[in-house]
Amino acid sequence: MMLHVVLFTPRADATDAERQTFGQSLDHALTSIPSVRAFRVGRRVRTGAAYDDLPGDFEFCAVIEFDDRAALQSYQQHPVHAELGRLFYVTARNAFAGDFDAVDNAPAHALTRWHAESR
């Protein structure tokens, strides 16, 4: 399984209309691109944990799940995603995006395998 993880904070001067247009574009991409298996979108909350003070503060996250790398690439190349990307770069002040090979179980085994593959 592949995860596409996006962390972002909108520009402080982004208008309500820009935010709404971006949100609608995100909705459309996540529900209309066939290769999306599942997704979660969230807003940052602080619980008093030590990691609350780590650098790299972002207001929102999106975690999008795909069956495999080909499905992720299909999403990335889809015209609906192209428009989402354009709006993302217009509205985001701070952002991170990355793709991750993920497992549902046996993380210790996966970490060992990934370490061996990176050598």
- pTM over 0.75? The answer is yes
Q: How far apart are CA 4 and CA 24, in angstroms?
A: 19
Express each pLDDT in 54-105 by its tens digit.
888 899 999 999 999 999 999 999 999 999 999 999 899 999 999 999 988 7
Return phi, psi of residue 118, to 5°.
Answer: -80, -10
Residue 26 maps to which CATH number?
3.30.70.100
Domain that holds residue 24: 2-117
Between CA 77 and CA 106, with CA 103 as vertex, the angle to 5 degrees is 170
Q: How many domains does the chain have?
A: 1
